[in-house]
Structure 1
Protein backbone atom coordinates (compact mmCIF):
# COMPACT_ATOMS: atom_id res chain seq x y z
CA UNK A 1 0.00 0.00 0.00
CA UNK A 2 1.14 3.46 -0.86
CA UNK A 3 1.57 6.21 1.68
CA UNK A 4 -0.81 8.54 -0.28
CA UNK A 5 -3.73 6.20 0.37
CA UNK A 6 -3.41 6.79 4.15
CA UNK A 7 -3.09 10.62 3.89
CA UNK A 8 -6.15 12.90 3.55
CA UNK A 9 -6.76 14.77 0.32
CA UNK A 10 -5.05 18.19 0.17
CA UNK A 11 -7.27 21.18 1.02
CA UNK A 12 -5.27 23.72 -1.00
CA UNK A 13 -3.92 23.51 -4.51
CA UNK A 14 -0.27 23.97 -5.35
CA UNK A 15 0.92 27.05 -7.26
CA UNK A 16 1.26 25.03 -10.48
CA UNK A 17 -2.29 23.72 -10.19
CA UNK A 18 -3.65 27.27 -9.52
CA UNK A 19 -1.90 28.64 -12.62
CA UNK A 20 -3.24 25.80 -14.77
CA UNK A 21 -6.80 26.40 -13.57
CA UNK A 22 -6.47 30.16 -14.21
CA UNK A 23 -5.34 29.48 -17.81
CA UNK A 24 -8.32 27.22 -18.39
CA UNK A 25 -10.72 29.82 -16.94
CA UNK A 26 -9.34 32.64 -19.12
CA UNK A 27 -9.57 30.50 -22.25
CA UNK A 28 -13.19 29.63 -21.49
CA UNK A 29 -14.10 33.28 -20.80
CA UNK A 30 -12.50 34.33 -24.12
CA UNK A 31 -14.49 31.70 -25.96
CA UNK A 32 -17.68 32.79 -24.19
CA UNK A 33 -16.95 36.44 -24.99
CA UNK A 34 -16.52 35.57 -28.65
CA UNK A 35 -19.77 33.65 -28.65
CA UNK A 36 -21.60 36.48 -26.84
CA UNK A 37 -20.29 39.15 -29.24
CA UNK A 38 -21.65 37.25 -32.24
CA UNK A 39 -25.18 37.07 -30.89
CA UNK A 40 -27.78 36.96 -33.62
CA UNK A 41 -31.56 36.72 -33.70
CA UNK A 42 -33.13 33.30 -34.23
CA UNK A 43 -33.73 32.38 -37.87
CA UNK A 44 -36.99 33.31 -39.54
CA UNK A 45 -39.78 30.94 -38.60
CA UNK A 46 -38.21 30.13 -35.20
CA UNK A 47 -38.94 33.44 -33.48
CA UNK A 48 -42.17 32.49 -31.74
CA UNK A 49 -42.05 33.87 -28.18
CA UNK A 50 -38.71 35.61 -28.79
CA UNK A 51 -38.61 39.35 -28.03
CA UNK A 52 -35.67 41.57 -29.07
CA UNK A 53 -34.60 43.58 -26.03
CA UNK A 54 -31.02 44.74 -26.63
CA UNK A 55 -29.19 46.27 -29.58
CA UNK A 56 -27.36 42.98 -30.15
CA UNK A 57 -30.70 41.24 -30.70
CA UNK A 58 -31.18 43.24 -33.89
CA UNK A 59 -27.75 42.40 -35.30
CA UNK A 60 -27.07 44.78 -38.19
CA UNK A 61 -30.64 44.77 -39.42
CA UNK A 62 -33.95 46.37 -38.60
CA UNK A 63 -37.03 45.44 -36.62
CA UNK A 64 -38.90 42.15 -36.80
CA UNK A 65 -42.46 42.62 -38.12
CA UNK A 66 -43.64 39.23 -36.83
CA UNK A 67 -42.86 40.28 -33.23
CA UNK A 68 -45.69 42.55 -31.97
CA UNK A 69 -43.72 44.72 -29.48
CA UNK A 70 -42.16 48.17 -29.65
CA UNK A 71 -38.74 47.75 -31.25
CA UNK A 72 -35.90 50.25 -31.50
CA UNK A 73 -33.13 48.93 -33.76
CA UNK A 74 -30.00 51.09 -33.44
CA UNK A 75 -31.99 53.09 -30.81
CA UNK A 76 -33.86 54.86 -33.63
CA UNK A 77 -37.06 56.46 -32.36
CA UNK A 78 -36.30 55.83 -28.71
CA UNK A 79 -36.83 58.88 -26.52
CA UNK A 80 -33.63 60.15 -25.00
CA UNK A 81 -33.44 60.03 -21.25
CA UNK A 82 -32.43 63.36 -19.81
CA UNK A 83 -31.00 63.89 -16.40
CA UNK A 84 -31.99 66.64 -14.00
CA UNK A 85 -28.67 66.42 -12.17
CA UNK A 86 -26.97 69.73 -11.47
CA UNK A 87 -23.32 70.38 -12.06
CA UNK A 88 -21.44 71.18 -8.87
CA UNK A 89 -20.79 74.92 -8.66
CA UNK A 90 -18.34 76.64 -6.33
CA UNK A 91 -17.82 80.29 -5.43
CA UNK A 92 -14.55 82.26 -5.51
CA UNK A 93 -13.48 80.80 -2.16
CA UNK A 94 -14.07 77.22 -3.29
CA UNK A 95 -17.22 76.67 -1.22
CA UNK A 96 -20.10 74.77 -2.81
CA UNK A 97 -22.97 76.99 -4.00
CA UNK A 98 -26.05 75.19 -2.70
CA UNK A 99 -28.35 77.98 -3.91
CA UNK A 100 -28.00 76.56 -7.45
CA UNK A 101 -30.71 74.07 -6.47
CA UNK A 102 -33.11 76.92 -5.65
CA UNK A 103 -32.28 78.70 -8.91
CA UNK A 104 -32.88 75.65 -11.12
CA UNK A 105 -35.68 76.25 -13.59
CA UNK A 106 -36.05 79.94 -12.68
CA UNK A 107 -35.33 82.90 -14.95
CA UNK A 108 -32.08 84.81 -14.58
CA UNK A 109 -33.89 88.03 -13.64
CA UNK A 110 -35.81 86.47 -10.74
CA UNK A 111 -34.40 87.43 -7.35
CA UNK A 112 -33.95 84.41 -5.10
CA UNK A 113 -32.90 84.86 -1.49
CA UNK A 114 -31.04 81.69 -0.51
CA UNK A 115 -28.99 82.96 2.45
CA UNK A 116 -29.78 84.94 5.56
CA UNK A 117 -27.28 87.60 4.50
CA UNK A 118 -29.37 88.27 1.37
CA UNK A 119 -32.21 89.56 3.57
CA UNK A 120 -30.10 91.97 5.62
CA UNK A 121 -30.38 95.54 4.30
CA UNK A 122 -27.16 96.97 2.94
CA UNK A 123 -25.77 100.21 4.32
CA UNK A 124 -25.62 103.16 1.96
CA UNK A 125 -22.02 104.33 1.81
CA UNK A 126 -22.31 107.43 -0.40
CA UNK A 127 -25.36 109.64 0.24
CA UNK A 128 -24.54 111.88 -2.74
CA UNK A 129 -24.70 109.07 -5.31
CA UNK A 130 -26.83 110.35 -8.25
CA UNK A 131 -28.60 106.99 -8.62
CA UNK A 132 -29.91 107.23 -5.04
CA UNK A 133 -31.29 110.79 -5.36
CA UNK A 134 -35.03 111.42 -5.76
CA UNK A 135 -36.13 112.80 -9.14
CA UNK A 136 -37.08 116.49 -9.32
CA UNK A 137 -40.70 117.69 -9.67
CA UNK A 138 -40.44 118.19 -13.43
CA UNK A 139 -39.34 114.56 -14.03
CA UNK A 140 -42.15 113.32 -11.75
CA UNK A 141 -44.78 115.36 -13.67
CA UNK A 142 -43.41 114.19 -17.04
CA UNK A 143 -43.47 110.53 -16.01
CA UNK A 144 -46.96 110.89 -14.52
CA UNK A 145 -48.27 112.38 -17.78
CA UNK A 146 -46.72 109.56 -19.87
CA UNK A 147 -48.28 106.97 -17.55
CA UNK A 148 -51.71 108.66 -17.72
CA UNK A 149 -51.61 108.75 -21.54
CA UNK A 150 -50.62 105.06 -21.73
CA UNK A 151 -53.44 104.09 -19.34
CA UNK A 152 -55.98 106.20 -21.29
CA UNK A 153 -54.93 104.49 -24.52
CA UNK A 154 -55.23 101.00 -22.98
CA UNK A 155 -58.65 101.77 -21.44
CA UNK A 156 -60.01 103.26 -24.68
CA UNK A 157 -58.91 100.15 -26.62
CA UNK A 158 -60.68 97.90 -24.08
CA UNK A 159 -63.87 99.99 -24.27
CA UNK A 160 -63.80 99.98 -28.09
CA UNK A 161 -63.39 96.21 -28.12
CA UNK A 162 -66.35 95.78 -25.74
CA UNK A 163 -68.70 97.99 -27.78
CA UNK A 164 -71.11 96.21 -30.12
CA UNK A 165 -70.52 96.42 -33.84
CA UNK A 166 -72.09 99.42 -35.54
CA UNK A 167 -75.76 98.97 -36.19
CA UNK A 168 -76.61 98.50 -39.85
CA UNK A 169 -77.43 101.77 -41.61
CA UNK A 170 -81.05 102.23 -42.55
CA UNK A 171 -81.39 101.92 -46.25
CA UNK A 172 -83.61 104.11 -48.36
CA UNK A 173 -86.17 102.69 -50.78
CA UNK A 174 -84.82 100.29 -53.41
CA UNK A 175 -83.59 101.86 -56.64
CA UNK A 176 -83.80 100.11 -59.96
CA UNK A 177 -81.35 101.01 -62.69
CA UNK A 178 -81.80 100.08 -66.30
Structure 2
Protein backbone atom coordinates (compact mmCIF):
# COMPACT_ATOMS: atom_id res chain seq x y z
CA UNK A 1 0.00 0.00 0.00
CA UNK A 2 1.30 3.46 -0.94
CA UNK A 3 1.68 6.18 1.67
CA UNK A 4 -0.03 9.53 1.39
CA UNK A 5 3.24 11.43 0.89
CA UNK A 6 4.13 9.27 -2.12
CA UNK A 7 0.79 10.04 -3.75
CA UNK A 8 1.04 13.83 -3.34
CA UNK A 9 3.11 15.94 -5.74
CA UNK A 10 6.35 17.52 -4.57
CA UNK A 11 5.99 20.94 -2.90
CA UNK A 12 6.44 23.91 -5.22
CA UNK A 13 7.24 26.47 -2.52
CA UNK A 14 9.89 26.48 0.15
CA UNK A 15 8.93 24.79 3.41
CA UNK A 16 9.18 26.96 6.53
CA UNK A 17 10.33 25.23 9.65
CA UNK A 18 10.62 26.97 13.00
CA UNK A 19 13.50 24.77 14.13
CA UNK A 20 15.55 25.53 11.02
CA UNK A 21 15.07 29.25 11.62
CA UNK A 22 16.29 28.95 15.22
CA UNK A 23 19.39 27.04 14.13
CA UNK A 24 20.22 29.70 11.56
CA UNK A 25 19.91 32.46 14.15
CA UNK A 26 22.24 30.66 16.56
CA UNK A 27 24.94 30.26 13.94
CA UNK A 28 24.75 33.90 12.85
CA UNK A 29 24.81 35.31 16.38
CA UNK A 30 27.88 36.67 18.14
CA UNK A 31 30.51 34.31 19.46
CA UNK A 32 30.38 35.73 22.97
CA UNK A 33 27.05 36.49 24.57
CA UNK A 34 27.16 38.62 27.69
CA UNK A 35 24.41 37.47 29.95
CA UNK A 36 23.91 38.95 33.37
CA UNK A 37 22.02 36.99 35.92
CA UNK A 38 20.10 38.54 38.74
CA UNK A 39 20.53 36.66 42.01
CA UNK A 40 17.43 34.89 43.32
CA UNK A 41 15.13 36.78 45.68
CA UNK A 42 16.61 35.63 48.99
CA UNK A 43 20.24 36.02 47.88
CA UNK A 44 20.33 39.65 46.72
CA UNK A 45 22.13 41.03 49.77
CA UNK A 46 24.96 43.28 48.62
CA UNK A 47 23.90 43.14 44.97
CA UNK A 48 22.91 46.47 43.38
CA UNK A 49 21.38 46.70 39.90
CA UNK A 50 23.50 49.07 37.80
CA UNK A 51 23.06 48.17 34.13
CA UNK A 52 19.93 48.14 31.99
CA UNK A 53 20.29 44.37 31.62
CA UNK A 54 19.89 43.96 35.39
CA UNK A 55 16.31 45.18 35.12
CA UNK A 56 15.36 42.80 32.31
CA UNK A 57 12.00 43.86 30.87
CA UNK A 58 11.62 46.63 33.45
CA UNK A 59 10.62 46.95 37.04
CA UNK A 60 12.82 47.85 39.96
CA UNK A 61 13.78 45.77 42.97
CA UNK A 62 11.87 47.18 45.97
CA UNK A 63 13.90 45.23 48.53
CA UNK A 64 17.11 47.02 47.40
CA UNK A 65 17.16 50.51 48.88
CA UNK A 66 19.09 52.51 46.28
CA UNK A 67 17.99 54.81 43.47
CA UNK A 68 17.01 52.60 40.56
CA UNK A 69 16.09 53.68 37.05
CA UNK A 70 14.62 50.72 35.16
CA UNK A 71 14.61 51.34 31.42
CA UNK A 72 16.20 54.74 32.14
CA UNK A 73 12.95 56.19 33.46
CA UNK A 74 13.55 59.20 35.69
CA UNK A 75 17.30 59.23 35.28
CA UNK A 76 18.84 62.69 35.17
CA UNK A 77 20.63 63.89 32.09
CA UNK A 78 18.33 62.14 29.66
CA UNK A 79 15.81 63.91 27.49
CA UNK A 80 12.21 63.28 28.35
CA UNK A 81 9.78 61.95 25.78
CA UNK A 82 6.83 62.79 27.99
CA UNK A 83 3.78 64.66 26.74
CA UNK A 84 3.36 66.40 30.10
CA UNK A 85 4.09 69.82 28.61
CA UNK A 86 2.38 69.22 25.29
CA UNK A 87 -0.71 71.23 24.45
CA UNK A 88 -3.61 68.87 23.99
CA UNK A 89 -6.68 70.00 22.08
CA UNK A 90 -9.74 68.05 23.17
CA UNK A 91 -12.38 69.94 21.20
CA UNK A 92 -12.60 71.22 17.65
CA UNK A 93 -13.18 74.75 18.95
CA UNK A 94 -9.76 74.61 20.64
CA UNK A 95 -8.14 74.26 17.24
CA UNK A 96 -9.93 77.25 15.75
CA UNK A 97 -8.16 80.61 16.16
CA UNK A 98 -9.63 82.82 18.86
CA UNK A 99 -10.82 86.29 17.99
CA UNK A 100 -8.24 89.00 18.32
CA UNK A 101 -9.85 91.88 20.17
CA UNK A 102 -8.71 95.47 19.87
CA UNK A 103 -7.37 96.95 23.08
CA UNK A 104 -9.21 100.23 22.55
CA UNK A 105 -12.62 98.51 22.19
CA UNK A 106 -15.08 100.42 24.47
CA UNK A 107 -16.66 97.19 25.75
CA UNK A 108 -13.29 96.15 27.21
CA UNK A 109 -12.59 99.44 29.01
CA UNK A 110 -13.19 99.91 32.73
CA UNK A 111 -16.41 101.76 33.54
CA UNK A 112 -16.13 105.33 34.81
CA UNK A 113 -17.35 106.42 38.27
CA UNK A 114 -20.78 107.50 36.99
CA UNK A 115 -21.47 104.07 35.47
CA UNK A 116 -20.31 102.39 38.67
CA UNK A 117 -22.73 104.52 40.75
CA UNK A 118 -25.65 103.71 38.41
CA UNK A 119 -24.96 99.97 38.52
CA UNK A 120 -24.53 100.06 42.30
CA UNK A 121 -27.85 101.89 42.78
CA UNK A 122 -29.74 99.49 40.49
CA UNK A 123 -28.27 96.49 42.32
CA UNK A 124 -29.16 97.98 45.70
CA UNK A 125 -32.79 98.62 44.67
CA UNK A 126 -33.13 95.09 43.26
CA UNK A 127 -31.78 93.53 46.46
CA UNK A 128 -34.06 95.69 48.65
CA UNK A 129 -37.07 94.63 46.58
CA UNK A 130 -36.17 90.95 47.03
CA UNK A 131 -35.59 91.22 50.77
CA UNK A 132 -38.80 93.22 51.32
CA UNK A 133 -40.77 90.56 49.45
CA UNK A 134 -39.25 87.81 51.63
CA UNK A 135 -39.90 89.76 54.83
CA UNK A 136 -43.52 90.47 53.92
CA UNK A 137 -44.07 86.80 53.02
CA UNK A 138 -42.80 85.79 56.47
CA UNK A 139 -45.22 88.14 58.28
CA UNK A 140 -48.61 86.94 59.52
CA UNK A 141 -51.33 87.15 56.87
CA UNK A 142 -53.33 89.99 58.48
CA UNK A 143 -50.31 92.17 59.11
CA UNK A 144 -48.70 91.74 55.69
CA UNK A 145 -49.16 94.85 53.55
CA UNK A 146 -50.09 94.31 49.94
CA UNK A 147 -47.23 94.76 47.49
CA UNK A 148 -47.60 97.69 45.14
CA UNK A 149 -46.57 96.84 41.58
- TM value normalised by structure 2: 0.30
- TM value normalised by structure 1: 0.26
